Amino acid sequence: MTRISVVILNYNGSDLLRKFLPSVIEHSKEAHIVVADNGSKDNSRDVVTKGFPFVELITIGSNLGFCGGYNHALKNITTEYCVLLNSDVEVSEGWLIPLIKTMDENSSAAAVQPKILAYHQKNSFEYAGAGGGFIDTLGYPFCRGRIFFLIEEDKGQYNDEREVFWASGACLMIRTKLFHKMGGLDENFFAHMEEIDLCWRLQRAGHSIIYNGSSTVYHVGGGTLSVSNPFKTYLNFKNGLSLLYKNLPPDELLFKFFVRILLDLVASIKFTISGSFKDGWAVLKAHRHFFKGFREERRRRRLTAKFGYKKLPNQYRGLIVWDFFIAGKSKYSDL
């Protein structure tokens, strides 16, 4: 029996499927491969049914976002492990074996990610996940191999296996039963930072998140939303507030949330001064929408209160904004 499913969420990505699905098929003999089409308007479904008829196709009637799409796709997945894999990822030979080994040998591990390198510059880490994810005391995410927009060259410095705070949604292996038990991805996030929220909840429930650098994949990045898209800016800042409000312990919430709001406003001013008016406005719109939907935010915080609130060992207690922009610490090894 197959123990693992690889689920690729697709939205208008017919070219990506043609390019990257063959590598997934070739190097994933251990897995059942699924493409979940998230209401695409292009010929993605024909690409799968005609070009890869042995791949299971799940058709979703409309675009439910990254979170809703995966929640829908995984409803009927019953394999022990499931990999959420972006459609713009090239996998390497044997990539699944170290990940399965990590999960088999660590009963407390809920999820694991491989080393994620850039597809177009394969000696460099990729923005989304790199060598394993962390957040600082105010909820700003960063990675081993990537702090803000400074990306390290891969020199084998993160070929280890260790606990991290979050695993990238670009390539995330998780215990399927735990995915369902935790309620899946929070659809309030739509896309971006939803995997950090899931990993935070998993740790609050007593599980660990692992990075295994013995497995490598190559990620294009920006396959659906480019880095320069103001909607991506909006999602990152709105979801950053949701992430903190939902998961911070009560004794830390008020002060840290207030400081985060001030720093976000500084970011909005910086965007505007540098000429990125749409990004500056996107930050303000993110805050407006967060507080407009505050009743729903409170409901979601209450729903996850059952997992408890505690200081987690893999959360960075420093301020990454200060360390990077003021103290000049540009690499994870500098922290």
pLDDT at position 1 over 80: no
Residue 279 has pLDDT above 90, yes or no: yes
Report the chain's mean pLDDT, rounded to a whole number: 95
Residue for token pair 């799968």: 48
Least confident among 60-69, 78-87, 135-144, 215-224: 215-224
Kindly report the number of other CB atoms within 10 A of residue 43's CB atom: 12
- Residue 218's contacts (CB-CB under 8 Å, 6 or more residues apart) are 89, 90, 91, 92, 116, 117, 118, 119, 122, 126
Q: Residue 313 — pLDDT band, cuts 50, 70, 90? A: confident
Cα separation, 283 vs 266, in Å, equals 10
**Residues 65 and 136 placed together within one structural domain of the fold:** yes
So what's the pLDDT on residue 226? 54
Of 196, 219, 242, the residue that ends a domain is 219
Tell me, yes or no, whether 236 and 207 share the same domain: no
Question: Which amino acid belongs to residue 279?
Answer: D
Mark whether 150 and 274 lie in a shared domain.
Answer: no
Domain count, the chain: 2
Q: Provide CB contacts within 8 A for 245, sequence distance 6+.
A: 253, 257, 297, 301
What is the spatial distance between Cα 235 and Cα 186, in angstroms, rounded to a whole number? 13
Task: Read off φ and ψ for residue 307, nearest 5 degrees.
Answer: -80, -10
324 pLDDT above the threshold of 70: yes
The residue out of 167, 186, 219 marking a domain boundary is 219
pLDDT at 225: 55
Secondary structure class of 117 (helix, strand, coil): strand
91, part of any domain: yes
In this structure, are residues 218 and 127 in contact, taking their beta carbons and an 8 Å threshold?
no
Average of per-residue pLDDT across 42-48: 97
Measured distance CA(160)–CA(132) in Å, rounded: 10
Using alpha carbons, select from 135, 194, 144 the residue that is nearest to residue 170: 194
Q: Which domain holds residue 130?
A: 4-219
Please state the pTM of the whole predicted model. 0.94
- Report the alpha-carbon distance of residue 323 to residue 230 in Å, rounded: 26
149 with 215, same domain: the answer is: yes
Is residue 224 in some structural domain? no
Judged by DSSP in three states, 272 sits in helix
Name the domain boundary from 219, 239, 265: 219
Give per-residue pLDDT as tens, 46-97. Answer: 999 999 999 999 999 999 999 999 999 999 899 999 999 999 999 999 999 9
pLDDT of 191 reads 84
- CATH number at 107 reads 3.90.550.10
In a domain, 225, yes or no: no
